[in-house]
């Protein structure tokens, strides 16, 4: 018997949920959050460091707090790509101006610096979340939708149908997942758009992911199909599909929600790995995976550690999803104390 959820009373789950909410909302409202388009290049600011934000000024030896402002940056050495603050004028940060969360008139603001092409790293991080975050939701939705229907029918019908479906799932589950992904990703033509690549990756991940879930659902259905409420539905003359739709699937939904939460990280990691290797989302489009490819350069990593920000976002997202998934699983399983 499941126990009532007490998310607010569990600080770690509450924080994890709040962080996930902020990440997904930033991806949905990326044009508002990001100060610049993710493709916009500014060759005058290659590999610029994060912009320093100031909130104090010194007047007559006294320090006073003022509205946040920045100084403009100038490239002091083009070869070493070092920058200096030009403190001839303060540029105040305007909030909710020009259709953006924050805006600076007359100067560039780069919260996480820029990449070698002068593209704002923070803007690319926000837009990249649209791919990396939602590919997990969509992929899991498709694979679990297929898995719950096929697994339920397999367990309820039994016989030759069950044998065929289970042998098919065993074949799919025997595939070495990552190498299979690499093989299929290479087949994707280089000239296709990122939106097409995005859909193809989802299809590939969903094709691989539904089998293991269908096996678990099939086992649960085997334990449910002889229950009294199922026998009552048969006595009332409900069809097979009616019993599956009205009785079995609703009784499996709680487990499904938990499994979905715990499975999303796998989809995010798979997309990130493919994109980091150049086989997923390709430049100039952006995902957290292809942003992370720059971190494979040791020189870039040591001189510009902010290139790891996309990897940190992936780790935080997966950690939050696992915290919430483990909590939901513990609330369902009466043998686990939380």
Give me the tens of pLDDT residue by residue for the chain, a chain 338 residues long. Answer: 445 555 556 788 899 999 999 999 999 999 999 999 999 998 888 888 899 999 888 877 788 888 899 999 888 877 777 888 888 889 999 999 888 999 998 888 999 989 888 899 999 999 999 888 888 888 888 888 888 888 888 887 888 988 898 888 888 888 776 677 677 666 766 667 766 777 777 777 777 788 888 888 888 888 777 777 777 777 777 777 777 777 777 777 777 777 778 788 888 888 887 777 767 777 888 888 888 888 777 777 788 888 889 889 999 999 998 898 888 877 765 444 44
Q: 130 and 100 in one domain?
A: no
For the segment 253-289, what is each residue's pLDDT rounded down to a tens digit?
Answer: 777 777 778 788 888 888 887 777 767 777 888 888 8
Is the residue at 22 inside a domain? no
Is the residue at 215 inside a domain? yes
Number of domains making up the chain: 2
Is the residue at 10 inside a domain? no
pLDDT at 184: 65
Q: 162 and 98 in one domain?
A: no
From 66, 84, 109, the end of a domain falls on: 109
Is the residue at 45 inside a domain? no
Q: 278 and 173 in one domain?
A: yes
pLDDT at 151: 86
3-state helix/strand/coil string of the chain: CCCCCCCCCCHHHHHHHHHHHHHHHHHHCHHHHCCCCCCCCCCCCCCCCCCCCEEEEEECCEEEEEEEEEEEEEEEECCCCEEEEEEEEEEEEEEEECCEEEEECCCCCCCCCECCCCCEHHHHHHHHHHHHHHHHHHHHHHHHHHHHHHHHHHHHHCHHHHHHHHHHHHHHHHCCHHHHHHHHHHHCCCCCCHHHHHHHHHHHHHHHHHHHHHHHHHHHHHHHCCCHHHHHHHHCCCCHHHHHHHHHHHHHHHHHHHHHHHHHHHHHHHHHHHHHCCCCCCCCCCCHHHHHHHHHCHHHHHHCHHHHHHHHHHHHHHHHHHHHHHHHHHHHCCCCCC
Q: 66 and 173 in one domain?
A: no
Q: 160 and 197 in one domain?
A: yes
Mean pLDDT score across all residues of the chain: 82
CATH number at residue 141: 1.10.3720.10
Q: 105 and 134 in one domain?
A: no
Q: 238 and 290 in one domain?
A: yes
Q: 96 and 194 in one domain?
A: no
Is the residue at 225 inside a domain? yes
Q: Which domain holds residue 155?
A: 125-332
Model-level pTM?
0.82
Is the residue at 30 inside a domain? no
Is the residue at 24 inside a domain? no
Is the residue at 9 inside a domain? no
Q: 235 and 102 in one domain?
A: no
Q: 140 and 75 in one domain?
A: no
Q: 101 and 145 in one domain?
A: no
From 80, 109, 138, the end of a domain falls on: 109
Q: 146 and 97 in one domain?
A: no
């Amino acid at each position: 018997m499941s126990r009532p959820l007490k998310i607010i009373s569990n600080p770690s789950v509450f924080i994890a949920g709040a962080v996930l909410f902020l990440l997904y909302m930033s991806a949905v409202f990326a044009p508002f959050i990001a100060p610049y388009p993710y493709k916009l290049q500014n060759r005058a600011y290659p590999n610029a460091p994060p912009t320093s934000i100031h909130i104090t000024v010194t007047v007559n030896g006294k320090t006073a707090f003022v509205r946040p402002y920045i100084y403009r940056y100038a490239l002091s050495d083009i070869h070493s790509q070092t920058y200096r603050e030009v403190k001839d004028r303060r540029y105040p940060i305007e909030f909710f101006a020009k259709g953006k969360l924050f805006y600076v008139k007359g100067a560039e603001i780069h919260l996480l610096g820029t990449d070698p092409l002068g593209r704002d790293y923070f803007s690319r991080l926000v837009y990249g979340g649209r791919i990396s975050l939602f590919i997990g939701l969509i992929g899991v939705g498709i694979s679990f939708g297929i898995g719950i229907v096929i697994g339920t029918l397999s367990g309820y019908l039994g016989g030759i149908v069950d044998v065929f479906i289970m042998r098919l799932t065993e074949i799919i589950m025997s595939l070495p997942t990552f190498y299979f992904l690499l093989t299929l990703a290479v087949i994707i033509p280089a000239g296709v758009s990122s939106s097409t690549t995005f859909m193809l990756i989802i299809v590939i991940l969903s094709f691989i992911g539904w089998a293991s879930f269908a096996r678990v659902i099939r086992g649960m259905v085997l334990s449910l199909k002889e229950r009294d409420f199922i026998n009552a539905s048969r006595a009332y003359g409900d069809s097979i599909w009616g019993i599956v739709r009205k009785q079995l699937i609703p009784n499996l939904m709680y487990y499904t929600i938990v499994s979905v939460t715990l499975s999303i990280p796998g989809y995010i990691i798979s997309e990130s790995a493919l994109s980091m290797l150049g086989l997923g989302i390709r430049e100039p489009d952006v995902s957290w995976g292809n942003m992370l490819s720059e971190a494979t350069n040791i020189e870039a990593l040591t001189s510009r550690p902010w290139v790891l920000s996309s990897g940190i976002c992936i780790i935080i997202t997966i950690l939050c999803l696992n915290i919430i998934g483990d909590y939901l699983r513990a609330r369902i399983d009466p043998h686990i104390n939380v």
